[in-house]
Amino acid sequence: MSNKGRTLIRMGLLGLTCGIILCAGPASARFRQAQVTIGQGPSSVVCTNGPSFNLRATDGHISVPDGNSIYMWTFAEVGGPFQVPSPVLCVDEGATVTVNLTNELAEPVSIIFPGHVGVNTTGGTPGLFTAEAPPAGSVTYSFVASEPGTYLYESGTEPRKQIEMGLHGALIVRPSLGANYAYNDAATEFDPGREYLMLLHDIDHNLHQAVEWGEPYDYTTTRDYYWTINGRAFPDTLAPNSVAWLPAQPYSALLVVEPYDATTNPLPILLRYLNAGLQNHPFHLHGNYTRIIAQDGRLLRGSGSEDTSYQSFTQTIGSGQTYDVFMRWTDVDGWATQSTPIPVDIPDLTNLFFHNAMTTWSGEVPLGEQGDVPVGVTVHNICGEYYLIAHSHALNEIQNFDEGMGGMTTFLRVDPPGGCMPVP
Amino acid sequence: MRARATTIIGLGLIFAAMALLLIAVPALAEPQSNPAEARQAEPVRAAPLGATVSVDLCAKAGTLTLPDSTVVDTWGFAIKPASVACTDVSVQAQVPGPLLEFTAGDSISITLHNALAEQASIVFPGQDLMPDHVGAAPGGSVAYSFTVDEPGTYLYESGTFSDTTAAVQVAMGLYGPLVVRPTTAGQAYGTPASAYDREAVLVLSEIDPDLHANPTTFNLLDYSPQYWLISGKAYPETDPILALPEERVLLRYVNAGLWNHTLTVLGMHQTVIAVDAYVKNYPHEAVSLIIPSGQTWDSIATLPAGAPFGTSFPLYSRNLFLSNENTFPGGMMTFITYDPTLLPYRNYLGLGM
Ligand SMILES: [Cu+2]
Ligand SMILES: [Cu+2]
């Protein structure tokens, strides 16, 4: 689906079928990012700051857009709510990270920190990969966050079960150069208001149901039915952070970019991909190539500091991998919302069915052009902003229990220069 | 000065020898004071460079016993001793096939003796010869001659397809690793970036018992693996990779399976130095590597200093194929382990062929 026209058509169809949930995300995102700090955007990464963390392994339910709810396990903050995914742990390079884990589940749990050296454990009981917290018990992990970057943390206890159940999260180590850099390299400066978490996961709800009900599950028959970004399945991925109707899924996956401008908007947005799932996921954004600057917490540089970052359209995010990715949207057509709207083929109105006032269609939503909006159809487009799909290109994964579209899908929202201001 | 030695995982022939060595080590545990000197004592190939190396392989039926005592029928390669017929009971099919090991510049002559009940052949991806998809009839033989010019990690496998067996011969076990060493010892590719102290060949594959029970009728569309192997073994029977702190362990991944596999090492990064025996100009570090079906990847994992002896670093399928059938733990998992009984330098364990 790299064809623009096809995507627009698809969005029109999507609008016809999705109704209020899809449309509430962009519509409520009325904001202007003037002076931003890290994480300030309504869909930017939300940090839980360390370097000491008190986590509890616990259980609860998430909701998926088809109305189902799924039993999950997670690492939640002690004193904080159940949430999926587990909190994004943010620390500064060089800090000694301490994670106290208490176990509210009925079986041993643990945390491993892939990519980190010399993780010390205190307490707990010996496990296959690391020390574990027994039921009602605890264990402490500590290590020095010696290298900046994006990392997973996840269960090291029966990982086939526990990681899928949700015992995983993201760990961000900020470089000493500054929090608006991805690494200790001046070329890794990013737009600090536009830093995004892209934590991928795949779910066979039959496992979750079996665990919830204490029934057996045959891992050799696994078949995934749900795919999530930041614990949400599309179209929930579009809603801002911490919306009331997703109480256990606080992290948005809506990507926002403004057209590149050497003077007024020179910095790329940063996407931090992590694949906590069991499957490898080929993922792409429509609208431009992305630049892969790092993998698994290591900046792509040659032994002589050569820049070995590379452009990629579809990037396969392997299981257990992380990628740090820069993205710019370059307006080669001199797009202006009113005077030179992005051209689009408007489908024949007579071919469309308008369900109710919440119906959206491609004549009015994301196209930078206001078409003939039928009477009674609510306009959701705020400022002529432009939406591009971003999704797993394993296309079976962009659905919720065999219903498309859904799953591992989100949007890249291109705002007019200066931000999204309502059209007068 | 780093010790240089080699640990080979994945060669059925040497497992017994390795076990013997480990048992014998405490008695020998006088560390070599001069690894460089010891380096020169490392047995090199008996044949001079550029020599003609002849290998006789059998393709024959065998069995593989999995950790839960499940036994599956296999087809595998085996070294054919001179004057012993492939059908002799002393010749046992191996999964994976024996490590074929050469030095760059060697002229290779491999003769396959087919003791299977159907046509069999070998293809050598990455080597300079026409792929053979015909091979030898049952009871017959076929010869392959080529020169190994480029060092690296390669796969060899059945090239035979037929109306009845499709590509099941590889899944049945007719695959193995092939390593071409550069003339510079202690390096994978004759480059400083490829220098290593120990090495492990990790042949990745899967077992669907239904395929092994009915190879001639099995429909590969129904392929549903139940066991996940590193060098023909599933955890807990996989071989540990033994090394010392700060040593560079060369991991030669060879994916002979039908599926792609993503492999993770905990406690360190691994540096990717080559893919499909093609040296990367700019090695990169990673925790987790996607090893597609049919590819080989070489990475070097440098073990961190300071951890106590006995520390084990998991190396496992991050697709989490960590069960034998439905029983955890199992599957595609092993450990890199600090072994206090290791000499700083240990001789390379050769093929014994
Ligand atoms: Cu596409
Ligand atoms: Cu697409």
What is the distance between the alpha carbons of residues B344 and B342, in angstroms, rounded to a whole number? Answer: 6
A and B: number of Cβ contacts within 8 A: 97
Give which of B342, B268, B251 is closest to B302, Cα–Cα: B268
Cβ–Cβ gap B287/A129 under 8 Å:
no
Q: Which residue has the tokens 């041993």?
A: A108
- Chain A: residue nearest B193 by CA? A303
Contacts of A246 (CB under 8 A, 6+ apart): A63, A232, A236, A239
Name the CATH topology of B195-338: Immunoglobulin-like (2.60.40)
Output the six-digit token pair for A365: 């939503």
What is the distance between the alpha carbons of residues B161 and B167, in angstroms, rounded to a whole number? Answer: 6
* A290 contacts A283 by C-beta, under 8 angstroms: no
pTM, whole model, 2 decimals? 0.86
Q: Which ligand is nearest to the CA of A1?
A: 1
Higher model confidence: residue B310 or residue B267?
B267
CA of B226 to nearest chain A CA: how many angstroms apart?
Answer: 6
pLDDT at B227: 98
Cβ–Cβ gap B319/A119 under 8 Å:
no
Asked if residue A90 is part of any domain, the answer here is yes
Q: Does A220 touch chain B (CB under 8 A)?
A: yes
Cβ–Cβ gap A115/B226 under 8 Å:
no
Asked if residue A270 is part of any domain, the answer here is no
3-state helix, strand, coil in chain B (%, to 5): 10, 40, 50
What is the distance between the alpha carbons of residues B163 and B322, in angstroms, rounded to a whole number? Answer: 34
pLDDT at A370: 53
- Print the domain residue range for A98: 48-181
* B278 contacts B33 by C-beta, under 8 angstroms: no
CA of B264 to nearest chain A CA: how many angstroms apart?
Answer: 7
Cβ–Cβ gap A117/B304 under 8 Å:
yes
Q: Which ligand is nearest to the CA of A389?
A: 2
Which whole number is the average pLDDT over B12-35?
A: 34
pLDDT at A360: 55
- Chain A: residue nearest B236 by CA? A128
pLDDT at B262 over 50: yes
N- to C-terminal Cα distance for chain A?
A: 33
Helix/strand/coil for B282 = strand
The domain limits of chain B are 9-181, 195-338
Output the six-digit token pair for B158: 């059945």
pLDDT one digit per residue (tens) for chain A, 424 residues:
333 333 333 333 333 333 222 222 332 232 333 333 454 678 999 999 999 999 999 999 999 999 999 999 999 999 999 999 999 999 999 999 999 999 999 999 999 999 999 999 999 999 999 999 999 999 999 999 999 999 999 999 999 999 999 999 999 999 999 999 999 999 999 999 999 999 999 999 999 999 999 999 999 999 999 999 999 999 999 999 999 999 999 999 999 999 999 999 999 999 999 999 999 999 999 988 999 999 999 999 998 999 999 999 999 999 999 999 999 998 887 777 667 766 666 667 777 666 666 565 544 444 445 556 666 666 666 777 888 899 999 999 999 999 989 999 999 998 888 787 665 4
Asked if residue A257 is part of any domain, the answer here is no
Average pLDDT in chain B: 85
Quote the DSSP letter at residue B187.
B
Asked if residue A102 is part of any domain, the answer here is yes
What is the distance between the alpha carbons of residues B112 and B80, in angstroms, rounded to a whole number? Answer: 9
Contacts of A30 (CB under 8 A, 6+ apart): A382, A420, A422
Give which of B174, B170, B126, B130 is closest to B152, Cα–Cα: B126
Higher model confidence: residue B346 or residue A125?
A125
User: Could you give the ipTM of this predicted complex?
Assistant: 0.87
Output the six-digit token pair for A58: 């616990």
Cβ–Cβ gap A280/B260 under 8 Å:
yes
Alpha helices in chain B (DSSP H): 12-28, 35-41, 168-172, 209-213
What is the distance between the alpha carbons of residues A334 and A336, in angstroms, rounded to a whole number? Answer: 6
CA of A162 to nearest chain B CA: how many angstroms apart?
Answer: 11
Quote the DSSP letter at residue A119.
-
- Chain A: residue nearest B280 by CA? A302
Residues of B in contact with A164 (CB under 8 A): 320
Domain count, chain A: 1
Asked if residue A153 is part of any domain, the answer here is yes
Provide the CATH number for the domain around residue A132: 2.60.40.420
Asked if residue A193 is part of any domain, the answer here is no
Asked if residue A355 is part of any domain, the answer here is no
Asked if residue A226 is part of any domain, the answer here is no
Distances in Å between the Cα of B278 and the Cα atoms of A138, A311, B90, B152, B281 are: 47, 21, 38, 8, 9
Please tell us whether the domain made up of B9-181 is placed in CATH 2.60.40.420.
Answer: yes
pLDDT at B236 over 50: yes
Two domains, one topology: B9-181 and B195-338: yes
Query: What is the A412 CA–ligand 1 centroid distance (Å)?
Result: 15
